[in-house]
Amino acid sequence: MSGLGPERLSLNTATVREQWSLAECIEGCARHGFGGISPWRDKLHEMGLEAAAKAIRDAGLRVSGLCRGGWFTESGSLDAAVIDDNRRAVDEAATLGADCLVMVVGGLAKGSRDLPAAWSLVEEGLARTLEHARDAGVRIAIEPLHPMYAADRACVNTMGHALDICDRLGDGIGCAVDVYHVWWDPELEAQLERAGRNRIMAFHICDWLVPTRDLLTDRGMMGDGVIDIPRLRGLAEANGFDGLNEVEIFSALDWWTRDPDEVLAEIVERGRSAC
């Protein structure tokens, strides 16, 4: 496969979250020729929703996703605060014109070992959020996380599980496919085919380093690890995905310590050479 030009890339702002504000991320994306941006909600709130939406529009950037909603399970019940926060996230995604609202669904409830109960809470929370999202015209994207995060971050860990939920909940819900979390799955090719155009709502890229020094904050730049990114991108595109390729790198030991313009320039180079 040929590589990706910067116009086919989106910057997930977590990639330079330690160095730049959202306003600086928007300006940087425009300066380096990126096609889009995916803000995190904390940075969005710092800048202000309306100001951010205007700045993104003025920069000519597409919003490939808003990170993130979810976190349904921590208290062991769907309290009003969780539902209200997810509805606010939907409204923010609508204002930004985001391609989807990414859902990190939550792990086990505090003190619990009851995984089926967590799955049930997640599905109920998604269903209740989806009612509001349909009215707002916002697509909901479940992000399956690597199984190492099942206890504390997301108890939905495979595309197959995520799509089972989508099948039960109906229109307007799909998956955010992050290669860091799903590259290992022997069922991935079949599940991408099952998902198809309507349910592959986002595609996130980075790399899995060997050795991995930290399971949360040591993701690699594309080409520095073991993930066959061109193959996985090819599978997503063969099954209808035609959105931006969103670069999301958590890197406390490396990329978060560098000049952010250097980081974006390297992303552009690796998009062409490693994706």
What is the structure's pLDDT at 274?
98
Q: What is the CA radius of gyration of the chain?
A: 17
Q: Is 208 left (phi over 0), alpha (psi -120 to 50) or beta?
A: beta
What is the structure's pLDDT at 2?
81
pLDDT for 210-240, tens place per residue? 999 999 999 999 999 999 999 999 999 999 9
What is the structure's pLDDT at 57?
98
Model confidence pTM above 0.85: yes
What is the structure's pLDDT at 217?
98
What is the structure's pLDDT at 233?
98
What is the structure's pLDDT at 36?
98
Can you list the residues of the chain whose pLDDT is less than 70? 1
pLDDT for 120-131, tens place per residue? 999 999 999 999
Question: Cα dihedral sign for 4, 44, 176, 181?
Answer: positive
